[in-house]
Amino acid sequence: MPQANITITIPEGVWIGDISRGHPNASIRILAALTDDNAGVGLTEITATDLQDIIADIQANDSVTELEILQQYENTVLVQFETTMPLLLLPVQDSGIPLEMPFTIEDGQAEWEITASQHRLSELGEQLTEFGIPFTVTAVHQHIEPEQLLTDRQLRLVNAAVEHGYYDTPRKCSLTELAEEVDLAKSTCSETLHRAEEKITKQFLENIDDTTTETPPP
């Protein structure tokens, strides 16, 4: 399943982006959020040295209809809010991707980690563009379980090769010794190991290509 790291630039006029830009040293962590077509509610943890000013600015914003302080300690406050402008949640909702929480907003930018099919990720990009939200894909990688990449026989052999030092430098186990350890003919051991190494190497190189993918803001 593809995983993507995306940096979202919150447009001007969206309250939470304006608040974070007005207080660039503040860290705003969205712990939970949900929305419908008319409003959104969320739970956020704000850490800053000027908390009182931040709270005052949030309360003064017309798009924030409710703000309740749940807990405060030192330079951190936990608040629940309701807003008429849940802009960041709308593209996620329309693309059908569950947004992983928490995520952090600092100085007008949000960092998202998204796990979804390639189709859903493409749909999210289209929705972000449609809502006028600039974004940059900083990394994309494919997470594959070893059981999905290798056959049971290949996986057992690779594990045995690592365990017995076949891949150590200097090598602690020869191919002949490895074949004896796993009770295979040397030729069978060599071919099975080569096929496994081929799959692992190709997948590794594909992941390198994915992680260098970068999409400029629209």
Peptide bond into 146 cis (omega under 30): no
Rg (CA), the chain: 25
Which residues of the chain does CATH 1.10.10 include? 146-210
Residue 111 has pLDDT above 70, yes or no: yes
Q: Mean per-residue pLDDT for 51-58?
A: 94
Q: Is the pTM of this model over 0.85?
A: no
Chain segment 177-195, per-residue pLDDT in tens: 999 999 999 999 999 999 9
Chain segment 128-159, per-residue pLDDT in tens: 999 999 999 877 666 556 556 788 899 999 99
The single-letter code of the amino acid at 105 is I
Lookup: tokens for 141? 């990688």
Question: Domain 146-210 falls in which CATH fold?
Answer: Arc Repressor Mutant, subunit A (1.10.10)
Q: Which pLDDT score is estimated for 146?
A: 57
Q: Which pLDDT score is estimated for 59?
A: 94
Q: Which pLDDT score is estimated for 214?
A: 42
How far is residue 47 CA from its own chain's centroid? Answer: 22
Which residues lie closer than 8 Å to 113 by C-beta, 6 or more apart?
3, 4, 5, 6, 100, 103
In terms of Cβ atoms closer than 10 Å to its own Cβ (0-12, 13-18, 19+), residue 28 is buried
CB under 8 Å, gap of 24 or more: what pairs does 19-24 form?
A: 19/54, 19/57, 19/58, 19/61, 20/105, 20/106, 20/107, 20/108, 20/109, 21/107, 21/108, 22/57, 23/48, 23/50, 23/53, 23/54, 23/57, 24/106, 24/107
Q: Which pLDDT score is estimated for 205?
A: 72
Place 211 in a pLDDT band, splitting at 50, 70 and 90.
very low
